[in-house]
Amino acid sequence: MFRRSVFTAVAVLGGLAAAAVAAPAPEPAKFVAHEWGTFSTFSGSDGKPLKFYPDDRDLPEFVTSRHRNVKGGLADVYVSLETPVLYFYTDRDRTVSVQVDFPKGLMTDWYPEASRPPEQRIRWDDLKVLAHDRPPLVEEHGTGRYFAARETDSATVRTSGPEKKQAEKFLFYRGVGDFPMPFIVRARGDGKFVVTNTGNHAVPGYVLVGVKDRKVSFKVFGHLSPGAEEKVELPTESSTVEKLGDAMATLLVRQGLYEKEARAMVKTWSKDWFAEDGTRVLYLVSEPVTNEFLPMTIDPKPDQTVRVLVGRHDVLTPEREKEIDAQVRRLNGASNAESKAADTQLGKLGRYRFAAQKAAEERVKETRVRR
């Protein structure tokens, strides 16, 4: 009996070994597309979304921009779609067409030049994705945040056609929209917050960040189920920008980005995410939500496509709203010096200034009426 069992075991193991030899290892993907970008939103402490000015800072002149062509700039919006960049990796030169739809928004900035003027859709036809050739890029050693996205091993993408050819290490685009993101943040004061996933897909992870006077604190949170609400709190102890950057890069890599891509994204946005005074939540947007808001078609279809967008939600705390209310009262004060000082303080809110100021004016008016 023992000998028969041994023979049986050997036969089974032999069969498994033969099967292992017969089944070849899967080939590595030969054509890969990876994308990252940001959906930015803003609210008061009650979580209700507020319109704000879309981000148009620090874009190089060679980027096509609607901001420059609209007198007075673009209108305030609920969502600023910031810096999606699409990378390609390929084993050979390819001709590729890409289309990205923004059905609830408007495309505002892009590079290289699109095949036709984009509105709710941007399309690049017959792009050359170069496996080995590295033609020179515009402003090869530029220093603005746009250029951090080049710090990867991605293939060069070049436009085709009789006109002047443009080359870059990615496709770049931006947009604005007026639609709700499926994520709400309410501030309760004393560093306490309530976050709610109002969507139909889980949030893979998020980071609560507080910045004040160059001191940063943060806490990383995991999976948030559809419809789930979670009470969270900022740690009282300070951390460092380096540790926060590492934490964000780790989350991005877990979602499928390469290490250099994740680091490029963190470098691009570190001043905004980690240095601007305020409180914000940086959350991973699930790929089904990204595909809903930004349907993308790549022809021919890559062997692998990864899309990792981050939702950046800035929220005013009750304490900050009281400070803004006080500055609004001073803005219309008796002395010109006092008014100028208040204007300077409100200016520190940046692109959120007029949304926050308007909300404060309404609160101040209500308080006067009650009196």
SS3 state of residue 135: coil
User: Which of 236 and 74 is assigned the larger pLDDT?
Assistant: 236
Question: What was the pLDDT predicted at 23?
Answer: 58
Provide φ and ψ at 242, rounded to 5°: -65, -45
Distance (Å, whole) CA 269 – CA 84: 12
Q: 334 pLDDT band (50/70/90 cuts)?
A: low
Task: Give per-residue pLDDT as tens, 138-170.
Answer: 999 898 899 999 999 999 999 987 667 899 999
Question: What was the pLDDT predicted at 1?
Answer: 44
Question: What was the pLDDT predicted at 316?
Answer: 98
Question: What is the mean predicted confidence (pLDDT) over 61-83?
Answer: 85
**pLDDT reading at 42 higher than 60:** yes
Contact 266, 242 (CB under 8 A): no
C-alpha atoms less than 13 angstroms from C-alpha of 287 in its C-beta half-sphere: 11
Name the least confident of 38-47, 50-59, 96-105. Answer: 50-59
**pLDDT reading at 3 higher than 50:** no
Question: What was the pLDDT predicted at 236?
Answer: 93
Q: Which two tokens stand for residue 95?
A: 């001709």
Distance (Å, whole) CA 331 – CA 8: 89
Question: What was the pLDDT predicted at 152?
Answer: 98
Q: Write the burial class of residue 270 (CB in 10 Å: 0-12 exposed, 13-18 middle, 19+ buried).
A: middle
**pLDDT reading at 136 higher than 80:** yes
Task: Give per-residue pLDDT as tens, 200-209.
Answer: 999 999 999 9
Distance (Å, whole) CA 3 – CA 1: 5
Domain coordinates in residue numbering, the chain: 26-316, 319-370
Name the least confident of 54-58, 119-123, 338-342. Answer: 54-58
- Residue type at 47? G
DSSP states along 29-55? PSEEEEEEEEEEEEE-TT--B--BPPP
Q: What are the start-end ranges of the H helices in the chain?
A: 2-22, 241-254, 259-270, 287-293, 318-331, 336-347, 353-370
**pLDDT reading at 295 higher than 90:** yes
